[in-house]
Amino acid sequence: MKANPGGLLAPDQVVGRDDLIKDLWRILDRQSVVLTAERRMGKTSIIRKMQAELPSKKIAYFRDLERVHRPVEFAEIVFCDVEHALTTLQRGAARARRFLSRLSGAELSGFKFPDVADAHWKVLLTETVADLADAQMVDLAVVFFWDELPWALQNIAATSGERTAMEILDTLRSLRQMHPNLRMVFTGSVGLHHVISELRAKGYGNTPVNDMYPFDVPPLSLDGAMDLATRLLKGEAIKSDNLPQTARLVADSCNNVPFYIQHVVDQLKIRGVPGTSRNIHAIIDGALSDPQDIWDLRHFRQRVDTYYGKNASGVLNLLDIIAAGESALSIGEITNRANSSEELIEEELIRTLLELLECDHYLVRTTNGMLHFRLPLIKQWWRLNRGLLL
Amino acid sequence: MKAQLLSNFTPSLMPPEALESIFVQRERFAHRLIHLIRDSVASSAKQQTLLIGPRGIGKTHLVALIYHRVRASSDLEPLLRVAWLREEEWGVGSFLELLLRIFRALNAEYKDAIDIATIDALYTMSPRAAEETAIQLIKTHLAGRTLLLLIENLDDLFLGLGDKGQKHFRSFLQENPILTMLATSQRLFAGVSRQVSPFYGFFRINHLKGLEFTEVIELLTKVAQLRGDKQLEGFITSPSGRARVRAVHHLAGGNHRVYLIFSQFLNRESLDELIQPFMKMLDELTPYYQARMAWLSIQQRRIVEFLCDQRGAVPVKLIAQRGFMTHQTASGQLRELREMGYVNASPVGRGSYYELAEPLMRLCIEVKKNRGEPIRLFIDFLRLWYSPTELEKRLTLLKPDWELERQYLLSALRDVQENPRDPRVSACMKDLKTAVKSKRLPKAVSIAQEVVAIRSDGYSYTLLGMLLGASGRGEEALDAFDKAIKLEPSNRSAWFARGVVLSERGRRSEALHDLDVSLESPSPFRVLALGMKSRLLRLEGRHNEAIDSAETVLKAEPRNATALVEKGLSLMALDRHEEATPLLDAALKVDPNNAQILLNQALLFVTSGNVNKALEALERAIKIEPIAAALHVKAAILFLLGRNREAITVVEEVLLLSPEDSDVLTLQGAMLRIDKDYAGALDSYERALRITPQSAEASFGRAAVICVLDWPRGVIALDAAIMNQHDAFEEIAESAKDILVDMKGAKTSWPEKIRCLSEIFERQNRLPVLATAIVRAIPAHVHEPDFGQWLSVWKEISNGREDLSLAIRLLEASFRYIGEEDERALLELPVEERELLRKVLEEDKDRRAESSISVESKD
C-alpha cells in the first residue's frame, strides 16, 4: 500500500476502521447519524468504504454536496438516487415525475429538473422520498451518505437565504420521521453545529438533528494505526531494522491519526531514509515548525477567528492556558488562570467556550472533568505556534 | 557547438531528450511521481499532487518530463489517458468549461478521442444539463481507465473556477475516483490553504526547492554538454569558473531559469560580450519580477521595494519604520513574504534580519526605477564578475573611444575603493561558513580555493591553509601558508597557523620559530600561540622555558586551562609533583570535563603512588571521551596491580581506537606473555616492530618469547637484538630476566641455557646487564627446590667473570636468607647491597610495573 496523504483512498486501503464501521451500521439499523470529526480523521474515507462494502438489505448513495447552491439542486440529487434505487425494483419515482409533469407540462427526460421546479423543491423532495415509501421495500433500508452537507447549507443560505437553509433541515427531519426505512448520514468539514448556530442567530429555533445519533470519529486505535503504518512502510519499501517497532513509533508519534501517519511514511519515502527514530522525529518536528505548514496545522489557529467571532481572543487565551499546562486542567483552574490576565471573562462564558472547543475537537474532557488537548501533537504545535515554549 | 533547443521560458517545447539531459536535483522525486501515477492507475486510490514554487524553479520542466516518461511507458498506455492543460489555460470560468478544456486536451493528445459533434452539442444545453452530460462523456471515454490531468498554474485555474466551480470540481472528484492530478502553482493559494476551501488538504503539496551550489554546477555542466560547449564545461570546473558560478548563485537564489540564462555568457570575458547579454537578460526577467510584484499587497510591495533599495539584510524594526507600519504588521507581512519565497530571514539574537531571496529582483526593479541610468546595477554586476585587478587590467586595455565602458569600469573601481568588500568573496564566505558549521570540510576547502582564485592575497591563502590543515592535508596547508607569508610577511595569522601545522607534523623547532614570529607583535592568536609554544618547549624537554611561556599566559589569563596544564606537566617532568598537583586541580576546575587534564592528573597520582585515585581519574576521563592514551594508562595500571585479564581487555579497547600504536602492542605482548599466551605475545611484538622497527622493548620482548617457544631461534633473536640495541640497558636486563624467570621448572635444560646466555652477554660485552637480570630473577627462583643448584651453576659460570660477582653474592645471600632462614645473610652484606636485595625481594611487582608505565605526560 502506497502512502497517499490527503488523496482518495480505495475502500480496501481504509485500515483500522472495521469495528467503527460495524458500530455505525448497528446505529444505522435504528436511526440516522451525524458523523463528526476533526478534519484529517478520515470521515469521507469511512463513508466511502461503507458504501463500497454494504451489508445485506441496504442500499446506499454517496454524494458530495458541496456543489449544491440551490435547494432544487439538492432535490434533484435525491431524485436521481431514488430513481436509481427504484430502478432496481423495476419502478421509478412516479409521484415526483407526475408532479414535475404538472409543473412543466411535459414528461421529464433524464434527471434534470426544469427551471420551473426551482420554487417547488420541497414538494419534489417530499414526493421523491414518498416514492421510496410507496415501493414498500420491507427490510430494505436506503442510506444517503451526504458529505459536506454543512457547506451545501451555507451555499444555500448565501444564494436563497437562511430561511431556505432552515427549511431544508426541517424537511429532512420530517422525512426521517415519516419514513422509518430512510437513513441519512450527515458529514462535513465544517461542524454542522456551527451552521445551526449561524441560523439560530437569524432566528432559527428548531433542533433539526436531535433525532440523529451524533457519532464522533476518533483517531485510530493503536493496533489500527500500527496496521496502517506497517502496510505503508512495507508498501513504500522503507528500510527498518525492526518493522513492528518502527510501525509503533510512527503510530505513536502521529497520535494514531491516519493522515499524519500517511505523511510521515510519504516523507520517509521522498527523503529516501530508513525508518529510524531519528528520521521519524525529524519529519514530525519539521512538520510542526514548517513555514509552509505541510500538515495544514495552521487552520487550528485560523478557524478560531471564523468560528468564534467576537469571542476569538478569549478562546485563544483559553487554548494558550491549556497548552501551557503540563497536565489536564479543571474548569476552575482554567477560569482562575484566564482571569489572572488583563481581560476578564465570565465563568459561564468560559464554560460555553470550552464546550464548543470540545465540539470542535480541540479539547477532550477526562472522566473527572479535567480538560486537555485532544491530540498531543496539536498541543505541541499550538505551543510552538503561539510561542509558549520556554 | 551543437544547435540545441534550450528554451528558457517554455520547457514544454523542448524535446524529451533535452529535458532529460539537463534534469538535475529531482530524479528521486520524479521517480516518486511516476510511482504515484502508477499507483493511481492500479487501484481506485487516486493520488493528487501539487507542486509549489516560484517561476523558473523548474515546475514545467518536471511536469514535461513526467509527461514524456508516462507517455513512453507502454504498460500504462492501455490503462491511462493524459490531458495536459497548458500554462495559458485562461478563461476557465466554471467546472463545465474545465471539462471542455479537458476534452480539448484529450483530443489533442489522442486523435478525436471525443466526438467533436458531441462536444458541440453541449453548447446547446443548459449549463446544468451540459455539465451532467460532459461528466458522462468523460466517464464513457475513459471506460475504466484513469485520467492523468496535468494542470499548470492551478491557482489561476481555481481563481477562474471560483468557489462554486471548485466545489463542483471537488464533488466530481469525490464521487468519481477516476482522475489523478499533477498540478503546479507559483505559490500556496487560498483555494488549497484555507480550511474553508473545498480543496483544503486535498493535494499532496510539494514545495520545490532552489538549486544548491553543487546542483548548479551539475546543471551548468549538463547544459554545456548539451550545447557541446567544451570551453564552458571546462571553465565551470576550474576554481575561477566555480567562483563566477558562485557569484551567479548569489544573484539567482537557486532559480533554475536564471542559471540557464546566465549559462549563455558565463565564460565570456570581454566587456562588450557581457553588457548586451546582461541587459537582455534583465529585459527578459523584468516582466517576471513585475508580475511577482503585482501579486503582492500594497504593504508587501512597500517592504519589497525597501529591501530592493538595501544592499544587505535589515532588521524588522527598520522595515517597520520605513514602511510606516507597526512592528507587528511588518512581522506579519514579512512572514507571508517569506512563505511566498520573496525574502530570506536570518536570526540574529532574538530578532531576525530580512533580505530579498533573489538579488536579481533588486536589479530588475532598479532598472525600472532608474530608467536610462543602469550604472548602479551594472557596477554591482561588474564587481561580481571581475576582481579589482581584472577591472584595472580591463581599464588599461580599453580603446580611447570606448567612453561608456570606461565610465562603468571607473565607477566599479571607485566602488571597490569605497566599499572594499568583494561581493564574490562575501558570497563565498557565506557558503564557507555554512560548510564549516556543518563540518563539510572538503566543501569548505573547495570554496576557499575559489576565494584564492578571486583574490590571491595572504588572507585567502591563510584561510585555505587552515582548512587544508583541518582536513589533514598538512603538506598542502604548509604550501598555502608559505604563499601567504611570501605575499604578506607581516601576516601573524599565517605564521601562527603554519606553526600549528608544523607542530602537528612533529617539526617542533620550525613550529617554535613560526610561533615566535607570530608573537613579535600583538595578534588575536597571542595567548593560543604562547600556550602552544609552552607545549612544544615541554615536548622538546625545555621545561623551564615552557614554564616561562605558560606563566606569561597565566599573567594575562590566570584561569587559562591550557597554560595551567602545560606548566603542571613541565613541573611533573622536573619531578616537582607537589607544585604540579594544584595546577592540574585548578585546570580541572576551569574545565572539569577535559579528559586530557584528567589523564594527566591520573599520571600524577601514579607518580605519587596513589594508584586507586589514578584509576578513578582515568574512569572519569574515559567516560567523557574514550581517548586511547587514558585507556593505555589504565591497562598499564591494571597490569601493575596484577589484574592481567582486565588489563588485556582494556588493551584490546585501546587497539580498537589506535590499532597502530606500537607501545600498546608491546604492552599487550608483555601481558600475553604473563598470561602464557606466547604465540599471541609474539604476534603483538612483531606487529609493534612492523610499526616501530627500532623499539628496543618490543625487540627484546620478542626475543624472550621466542626463547620459550624455540630456544635456539630465541637465542639468535636475543643476540641480534643486543647487537642492534646495544645501549638499551633496561630493555636488555628485563628481557634477560624474563628469560631466566621462564626457565623456572625447566628441570634439566636450564644449566645449558644459562651458559649459552652468559656466553652471548660476554661476547656482546653486556655481562653487567646480565648481572642485573640475575638479581631481578631472584624472587622467581628463590623458593624453587633447585635454587641451590641454580646458585652453584651461576657460581661456576661467574668464575673469572668479575662483572657477575655482585649478582652471585646476592644469590648466595638470598639462598641463606630464604632457604636457610639465616638473618645474618642479609646483615653480612654491605648496606647498599643489603637494601638492593631487600628491595628486589619485596618489591618485585612494583618494579615490574614501573617499567611498564611511563610517567611522562600524555598528549
B831-842 helix and B844-852 helix, angle to the nearest 10 degrees:
80
DSSP state of B3: -
**DSSP-assigned beta bridge partners for residue B369:** none
- Mean pLDDT, range B5-25, rounded to an integer: 78
Give pLDDT, residue B3.
46
Per-residue cell: B692:
616501530
How far is A106 from A121, CA to CA, in rounded Å?
A: 18
Closest Cβ opposite residue A270 in set B29, B129, B173: B29
pLDDT at A265 over 90: yes
Strand partners, B356: B343
Partner A, chain B 61-120, Cβ-Cβ below 8 Å: 95
For residues B374-393, average pLDDT: 69
List of E strands, B357-429? none
Backbone angles phi, psi at B822, to 5 degrees: -100, 105
Which residues from A are below 8 Å from B167, CB to CB?
Answer: 66-67, 69, 151, 155
Residue B7 confidence class, pLDDT cut points 50, 70, 90: low
C-alpha cell of B188?
Answer: 500556496
pLDDT in tens, B698-744: 999 999 999 988 888 998 999 999 988 888 888 899 889 988 888 87
pLDDT computed for residue A308 by the predictor? 83
Tell me: pLDDT of A232 over 90. Answer: yes
Q: Note the pLDDT tens digit of each residue in B399-436.
A: 777 776 777 778 788 877 777 777 778 778 888 888 88
Residues of chain B neighbouring A63 (CB-CB closer than 8 A):
171, 175
At A287-308, the pLDDT tens digits run 888 777 778 788 888 888 878 8
The residue-averaged pLDDT of A140-156 equals 90
DSSP one-letter string for B783-808: TSTTHHHHHHHHHHHHTT-GGGHHHH
The number of residues making up chain B comes to 859
- pLDDT reported for residue B524: 79
C-beta atoms of A110 and B129 within 8 A: yes
Q: What is the dihedral of CA A42, A47, A49, A54, to 10 degrees?
A: 160
Interchain contact, B168 vs A67, CB within 8 Å: yes
Across the range B614-622, mean pLDDT stands at: 90
The mean pLDDT value of chain B amounts to: 84
Q: How far apart are CA A104 and CA A100, in angstroms?
A: 6
State residue B845's pLDDT score: 45
Is the model more confident about B413 or about A372?
A: A372
Minimal C-alpha gap between A339 and chain B (Å): 25
Q: Smallest Cα–Cα separation from A50: which of A42, B653, B787, A247?
A: A42
State what percent of residues in chain B have pLDDT above 90: 29
HEC readout, chain A: CCCCCCCECCHHHCCCCHHHHHHHHHHHCCCCEEEECCCCCCHHHHHHHHHHCCCCCEEEEEEEHHHCCCHHHHHHHHHHHHHHHHHCCCCCCHHHHHHHHHHHCCCCCCCCCCHHHHHHHHHHHHHHHHHHHHCCCCCCEEEEEEECHHHHHHHHHHHHCHHHHHHHHHHHHHHHHHCCCEEEEECCCCCHHHHHHHHHHCCCCCCCCCCCEEEECCCCCHHHHHHHHHHHHHHCCCCCCCHHHHHHHHHHHCCCCHHHHHHHHHHHHHHCCCCCHHHHHHHHHHHHHCCCCCCCCCHHHHHHHHHHHHHHHHHHHHHHHHHHCCCCECHHHHHHHHCCCCCCCCHHHHHHHHHHHHHCCCEEECCCCCEEECCHHHHHHHHHHCCCCC
Helix crossing, B767-776 with B831-842: angle to 10°? Answer: 60
**Mean pLDDT: which of A326-340, B575-589, B827-841 is highest?**
B575-589
Q: Does B35 contact A190 at a Cβ distance shorter than 8 Å? A: no
The answer to whether B31 faces chain A, any CB pair under 8 Å, is no
> What pLDDT is stored for residue A364 in this prediction?
92
In single-letter form, the type of residue at position B118 comes to T
- Give how far B445 is from chain A: nearest CA, Å: 27
Mean pLDDT of B481-486: 94
pLDDT at B373 over 70: no
- Contact assignment for A66 to B198 by CB distance below 8 Å: yes
At B847 the pLDDT is: 46
**Whole-number pLDDT of residue A390:** 46
User: Over 60: is that where the pLDDT of B27 sits?
Assistant: yes
Residue B580: is its pLDDT beyond 50? yes
Q: Is residue A254 within 8 Å of A284, Cβ to Cβ?
A: yes
Q: Does A160 touch chain B (CB under 8 A)?
A: no
In whole angstroms, what is the distance from residue B756 CA to residue B761 CA?
9
Contacts of A148 in chain B (CB under 8 A): 171
**What confidence tier does A90 reach under pLDDT thresholds 50, 70, 90?**
low
Of the candidate ranges B204-213, B333-342, B412-421, B810-819, the one whose mean pLDDT is the lowest: B412-421
Segment B91-108, tens digit of pLDDT:
788 999 999 999 999 998
Note the ipTM here.
0.71
Taking only the tens place, the pLDDT of each residue in B232-263 is 888 888 887 887 787 777 767 777 877 887 77
* Average confidence (pLDDT) over A94-116: 73
Q: Which of B45, B128, B206 sits opposite A8 (nearest CB)?
A: B45
Binding-face residues of A in 198-217 toward B, CB within 8 A: none
pLDDT band at B8 (very low <50, low <70, confident <90, very high): low
Instruction: Give the range among B404-408, B430-434, B517-521, B545-549 with minimum mean pLDDT.
Output: B404-408
* B650 against B382, higher pLDDT: B650
A84 touches chain B (CB under 8 A): no
Q: Hey, are the CB atoms on B171 and A293 less than 8 Å from each other?
A: no
Give mean pLDDT, residues A320-332: 88
The length of chain A is 390
Q: Which residues of chain A have a CB within 8 Å of the CB of B52? A: 292
Full DSSP string of B216-279:
HHHHHHHHHHHHT-HHHHHHHHSHHHHHHHHHHHHHHTT-HHHHHHHHTTTT--SHHHHHHHHH
What is the average per-residue pLDDT within B651-662?
87
Largest CA distance in chain A: 74
Is the separation of the CB atoms in B46 and B180 below 8 Å?
A: yes
The nearest alpha carbon in chain B to A272 belongs to B28
**Grid cell listed for B739:** 628469560
Contacts B174 to A, Cβ<8 Å: 8, 44, 62, 64, 147
B669 touches B705 (CB < 8 A): yes
Average pLDDT of the residues of chain A: 87
pTM of the model: 0.60
The residue among A247 and A56 whose pLDDT is bigger is A247
Q: What is the mean pLDDT of residues B690-696?
A: 89
B186 by DSSP, 3-state: which?
coil
A43 and A217 in contact (C-beta within 8 Å)?
yes
Give residue A346's identity as a one-letter amino acid code: E
Nearest in space to A233 (alpha carbons), one of A199, A274, A193, A201: A274
Q: How far is B39 from chain A (nearest CA, A)?
A: 7
User: Which has more confidence, B837 or B146?
Assistant: B146
Q: What is the model's pLDDT at position B592?
A: 86
Helices (H), B253-344: 256-263, 271-294, 298-309, 316-322, 327-339
pLDDT digits (tens, 9 = 90+) for B136-158: 999 999 999 999 999 998 988 99
Query: Is there a contact between B174 and A67 if contact means CB atoms under 8 Å apart?
Result: no
Q: Alpha-carbon distance B47 to B62, whole Å?
A: 17
A300: buried, middle or exposed (CB in 10 Å: 19+, 13-18, 0-12)?
buried
Query: Nearest 5 degrees, angle CA B5-CA B8-CA B12?
Result: 70
**β-bridge pairing B351-356 and B343-348:** antiparallel
Predicted local confidence at residue B852, as pLDDT: 47
Cα four-point dihedral sign B262, B264, B266, B269: negative
Give the one of A190, A266, A299 whose C-beta lies nearest to B204's C-beta. A266
β-bridge pairing A371-373 and A363-365: antiparallel
Would you place residue A106 in the very low, low, confident or very high pLDDT band (cuts 50, 70, 90)? low
pLDDT at B96: 93
Q: For residue A296, what are the CA distances in angstroms to A378, B36, B114, B170?
A: 11, 21, 39, 18
Does position B335 have pLDDT exceeding 70, yes or no?
yes
| Of residues B260, B282, B251, B430, the one with CA closest to residue B357 | B251
Lowest mean pLDDT among A67-71, A130-134, A151-155, A279-283: A130-134
Predicted local confidence at residue B66, as pLDDT: 96
Higher pLDDT: B744 or B311? It is B744
